[in-house]
């Protein structure tokens, strides 16, 4: 049974969905005012792995990941670039989708935009005012009253009195309490706005997720995910406003992935120490970036280093090298996970992989299973034996569960030539010349060809009377 570390209760818990066979999953998405960085990529990949794992377990998953397309940062950046906020957000939504495709991230079932859910937000805010949990200020803003919700702080473990005494909170003369947070912002000249009973304006950030999740998953759902930096105040505020509205529980399990760090600081746009996904894709493949991210447990901090990315590249090449030349029915293994005939796979490796993934998505341990599987595969000299076929199929299937190993090994290992590197045809010609030299016992020329290719980043591998090559 899947065990999930529930931030709300600070322990691993068996996962039991509200409705048998169904899972409602909501993940806080991106505020689209700039390109996505590696920290955003980690959110995409972590919950994509969860999505895949739940589907493979036979669940029908209603996966919702929102887009915040109205926000102070979006408005400010649009003004700087002399475009409308809608034009700016659309540009970065398209770039975000391109990044997701490069990282082999499956699209969620629903991807609501904040601007499409304004009516729901206005309705919820009105109900919170009626029930005494929110109030309209004289300036047209609407605030949530934190003291009206007795359980405020239960997710983060922070106490209201301590927050008032020691935390830096937004100061606003119109708030009744410094901890109160905005649900509706009155519009300023030139800003996008929508009508409401309290005047034209736009929603605060926190109310967006409550409205969109309830619209698509209901008042109570199974799993709410996001980055650790959202635990407080964003997720805390979501709970407060949602549970005050319904009188019941909001999300049953709260999952938070650790942050990506550069040195001793988290990667963020506000600190200007971030690497965009596009920046990294210029030097590493999406599959290499994905392997780097799943190489650490999702709850742990992830240190962004060149060494770690190169280690991910090495691991991938090792897997693909083990698969090279071995017949695998990829189409059968990459269909809907529940439709795969797992009886044709190695039961021992499959069981160990499932155990790792059921242990709070322990992807490092799952990757260790793949490494052992590659070791076993490399010992099978007969590429087409029954054992070889079973092991190779298992490696491809389990890799697919993690969103990797979906390429033809030859294509992946040989890659594309650099501008000054030899083409595949040139390499094949040199290999034939080398074979002729070896047949003529001209080992000096044979070694020279090997060295020339190695100097150009091409590695020759002799096995079973054949020579294969890969780009290094």
Residue ranges at the known binding site for Zn(2+): 28, 209, 234, 238
Angle at which helices 363-378 and 286-294 cross, to 10°: 120
Which residues make up each annotated binding site for ATP?
269
3-state secondary structure of 470: strand
CA atoms of 97 and 105, how far apart (whole Å): 9
Residue 415: exposed, middle, or buried by beta-carbon count in 10 A (0-12, 13-18, 19+)?
A: middle
In sequence order, what are the residues at sequence separation of 6 or more whose Cβ sits closer than 8 angstroms to the Cβ of residue 459? 453, 469, 470, 471, 472
Q: Are 221 and 18 in contact (CB under 8 A)?
A: yes
CA atoms of 206 and 128, how far apart (whole Å): 14
Tell which residue, 63, 66, 55, has the closest CA to residue 32.
66
Question: φ and ψ at 185, to 5 degrees?
Answer: -105, 130
Q: Look up residue 87 and give its two tokens.
A: 């034009």
Q: Look up residue 259 and give its two tokens.
A: 């942050």
Name the pairing type of β-strands 260-262 and 302-303: parallel
Question: What are residue 468's DSSP bridge partners?
Answer: 461
CA atoms of 317 and 311, how far apart (whole Å): 10
Q: For the chain, how many residues are written? A: 472
Which residues make up each annotated binding site?
28, 209, 234, 238, 269
């Amino acid at each position: 049974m899947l065990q999930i570390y529930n931030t709300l209760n600070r322990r691993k818990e068996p996962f039991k969905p509200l409705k048998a066979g169904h899972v409602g999953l909501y993940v806080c998405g991106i505020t689209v005012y700039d390109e996505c960085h590696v920290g955003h990529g980690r959110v995409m990949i972590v919950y994509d792995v969860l999505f895949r794992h739940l589907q493979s377990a036979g669940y029908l998953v209603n996966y919702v990941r929102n887009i915040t397309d109205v926000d102070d940062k979006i408005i400010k950046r649009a003004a700087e670039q002399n475009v409308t906020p809608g034009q700016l957000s659309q540009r970065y939504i398209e770039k975000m989708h391109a990044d997701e495709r490069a990282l082999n991230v499956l699209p969620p079932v629903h991807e609501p935009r904040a601007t499409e859910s304004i009516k729901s937000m206005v309705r919820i805010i009105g109900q919170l005012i009626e029930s005494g949990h929110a109030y309209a200020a004289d300036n047209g803003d609407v605030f949530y009253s934190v003291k009206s919700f007795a359980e405020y702080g239960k997710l983060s473990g922070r106490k209201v009195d301590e927050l008032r005494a020691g935390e830096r909170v937004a100061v606003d003369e119109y708030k009744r309490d410094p901890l109160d947070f905005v649900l509706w912002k009155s519009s300023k000249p030139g800003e996008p706005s929508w009508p409401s009973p309290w005047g034209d304006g736009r929603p605060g950030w926190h109310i967006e997720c409550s409205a969109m999740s309830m619209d698509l998953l209901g008042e109570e759902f199974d799993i709410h995910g996001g980055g650790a930096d959202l635990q407080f105040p964003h997720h805390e505020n979501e709970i407060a406003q949602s549970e005050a509205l319904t009188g019941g529980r909001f999300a049953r399990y709260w999952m938070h992935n650790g942050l990506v760090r550069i040195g001793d600081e988290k990667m963020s746009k506000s600190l200007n120490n971030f690497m965009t996904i596009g920046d990294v894709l210029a030097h590493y493949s999406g599959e290499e970036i994905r392997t780097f991210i799943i190489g650490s447990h999702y709850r742990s901090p992830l240190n962004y280093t060149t060494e770690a990315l190169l280690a991910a590249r090495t691991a991938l090449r090792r897997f693909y090298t083990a698969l090279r030349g071995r017949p695998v029915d990829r189409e059968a293994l990459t269909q809907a996970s529940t439709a795969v005939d797992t009886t044709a796979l190695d039961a021992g490796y499959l069981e160990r992989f499932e155990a790792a993934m059921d242990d709070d998505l322990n992807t490092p341990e799952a990757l260790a299973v793949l490494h052992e599987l590659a070791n076993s595969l490399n010992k099978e000299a007969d590429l087409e034996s029954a054992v070889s076929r079973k092991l190779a199929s298992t490696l491809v299937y389990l890799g697919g569960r993690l969103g990797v190993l979906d390429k033809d090994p030859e294509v992946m290992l040989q890659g594309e030539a650099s501008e000054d590197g030899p083409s595949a045809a040139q390499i094949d010609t040199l290999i034939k010349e080398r074979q002729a030299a070896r047949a003529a016992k001209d080992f000096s020329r044979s070694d020279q060809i090997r060295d020339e290719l190695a100097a150009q980043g091409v590695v020759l591998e002799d096995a079973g009377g054949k020579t294969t090559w890969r780009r290094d």
